[in-house]
Amino acid sequence: MSNYGDDNSRRGDDDSERGLGYQQQQQGYGRQQGYGQQQGYGQQQQGYGQQQGYGQQQGYGQQQGYNSPGPRPGSNMVGASQYGGNAPGSDYSQEELEEKERSDRNKKYGMAAAGVAAAAAGIGGALFYGHHKKEEREEEERKEKEEEEEEQRKRREEEERRRQQQQQQQQQQHHQQQQQHHQQQQQQQSGWKSPGTDSAYGGSQHTQGGNQGSGFRPPAPFGRPPYSFDQNDVRNADPSRSSDNSPTPREYPQLRQTGSDSAIKIGSIVAFKHNMTGRFLHTDRSHSTESGSNQQLVFGFRWSPDENDWWQVLPANQDQPVPGSIVNFGTQIRLRHLETGRHLHSHYNFRDSRSGQNEVTAYGDQSRSDENDHWVIERWGDGGYGSTWNSHDVVVLRHYVSGMSLHSHDILISEDVQSVTCFGPGGEENDKWRIQCQ
């Protein structure tokens, strides 16, 4: 320090002569402050690093070189090499700049990391969405496959049902053909003649308007004597042909005729119109017989059908045809009244109060029926056994137990109540009925 001070003293004398000491003092050049000994600025006024703590508080000793005699090799002052220690704006140390640089790098790295994270999140979201859509597609494909399998199962069931139905129809037709053949054999062995010429039928006395009868000879019931058509020849119903322990279904689907389909089937809904008088076969809960049977009265009523004129075609007790099977002439059927649920019925021992003929009633219900509810459907004139019963045919309804036919005439029980009975072999005009489909 002493050598440095002497040099400065000598240099200060020279500078005093040139008038530069004050200028160097004003500009504060760290390396040319030889005025330190003459004016004491280096120790008294410009010792800022010691007296005012600038070196610690504001860093002047390092940044502006106020306490430094000049630049030294290896100095870490910014701007020292460029501006000689008084670099303008050089307010940051090397450590601070490095710290700032690290901070900037960290920010860049952070931003890059955030970008990478965002990209990764986007890729993850895309992968999740793609996986979710894949699951949805797989679920839709699974449902479509299940629906297709269900449709195939239903088609197989429908095909099986149709096959069984066709098989049952074939069996039924075979049975009817055998029955028809047997009936024809019995008919040939009976030796009956046409009702118009055979006195056993009453000759022509049961015909009207010169008609000599239908000419049809009904076969005898299986295992029973031929029909006598005599009201005193009392025949009882076979108990084994009742609804007791019968496999016949209690109900059948109700079928309405559509379009050009004229075939009558098991389940068809029909109304019967008397050919001679035009009145419809009718029953209701407000009319009962007067004979003592106290059953629901059946009679001819008015000339257009109402809700009490409709009947459903059903199979005989113990029979099990497929619903919708076509009915052929010669088949035993039952007719169930649609409104009251009772069956068209006739019997011996109870007579119509006006004509004395066997009465016709509505009897039983869905779970109660006997053989007196059985009727054989025949085509007028030839019976038509084995042929299809069509809606345009004129028919005879023959009571199976007695052999007599459903009959009506101009006898009125009361106003609009025309007598309906069971009478004769079925050769009269008054035995003819036409049907109307619903």
Q: Which of 32-41, 161-170, 314-323 has the lowest mean pLDDT?
A: 32-41
CA atoms within 13 A on the CB side of 22: 3
Question: Nearest to residue 435, comparing CAs of 364, 385, 366, 377?
Answer: 377
**389: which 2 tokens?**
């019963």
Listed in sequence order, the residues at least 6 apart from 22 whose beta carbon sits closer than 8 Å to its beta carbon are: 35
pLDDT at 238: 94
Buried b (16+ CB within 10 A) or exposed e, 287-299: bebebebebbbbb
Residue carrying the six token digits 């007719």:
335
3-state SS assignment for residue 171: helix
Section 194-219 average pLDDT? 42
Q: How confident is the model at residue 310 (pLDDT cuts 50, 70, 90)?
A: very high
Rounded to an integer, what distance in angstroms lies between the CA atom of residue 403 and that of residue 380?
15
pLDDT band per the 50, 70, 90 thresholds, residue 301: very high
* Stronger pLDDT, 368 or 80, i.e. the higher one: 368
- Find how far residue 350's CA is from the centre of its chain: 54
How large is the average pLDDT for residues 141-156?
90
Residues 345 and 364: beta-carbon distance below 8 Å: yes
Q: What does pTM read for this prediction?
A: 0.54
What is the four-CA torsion angle of 325, 327, 331, 337, rounded to 10 degrees?
A: 90
Is pLDDT of 14 > 60? no
Residues 6+ apart with CB under 8 A from 324: 253, 255, 265, 266, 267
Q: What span, in angstroms and rounded, lies between the C-alpha atoms of 219 and 238?
A: 18
What is the pLDDT at residue 315? 97
Q: How confident is the model at residue 388 (pLDDT cuts 50, 70, 90)?
A: very high
How far apart (Å, rounded) are the C-alpha atoms in residues 350 and 352? 7
CB-based contacts of 120, cutoff 8 Å, min separation 6: none
pLDDT of 175 reads 66
Among 438, 434, 436, 397, smallest CA distance to 277 is for 434
The least confident of 11-15, 103-107, 141-145, 246-250 is 11-15
Query: Is residue 413 predicted with pLDDT exceeding 90?
Result: no
Angle at 196 between CA 192 and CA 202, to 5 degrees: 80
> For 67, which DSSP code?
S
Q: How confident is the model at residue 296 (pLDDT cuts 50, 70, 90)?
A: very high
User: Band of the pLDDT at 182, cuts 50, 70, 90?
Assistant: low
Q: Give the separation between CA 348 and CA 357, rounded to whole angstroms.
A: 9
> Is it the case that residue 194 has pLDDT exceeding 90?
no
Three-state secondary structure string covering 189-227: HHCCCCCCCCHHHCCCCCCCCCCCCCCCCCCCCCCCCCC
d(CA 289, CA 360): 9
- Over residues 19-35, the mean pLDDT reads 41
pLDDT at 30 over 60: no
Place of tokens 């679920």: 139
pLDDT at 98: 81
For residue 177, the model assigns a pLDDT of: 64
For residues 113 and 344, what is the distance between their CA atoms, to the nearest angstrom? 96
Confidence of residue 180 (pLDDT cuts 50, 70, 90): low
Q: What is the DSSP string of 314-338?
A: EEPTT--PPTTPBPBTT-EEEEEET
Q: Mean per-residue pLDDT for 130-156?
A: 88
Residue 3 is predicted with a pLDDT of 45
pLDDT-derived band at 250 (thresholds 50, 70, 90) equals very high
Q: What is the mean pLDDT of the chain?
A: 76
Q: How far apart are CA 210 and CA 356, in angstroms?
A: 24
Q: How far apart are CA 355 and CA 359, in angstroms?
A: 9
Least confident among 11-20, 172-181, 232-241, 322-331: 11-20
Residues present in the chain in total? 438
pLDDT at res. 85: 44
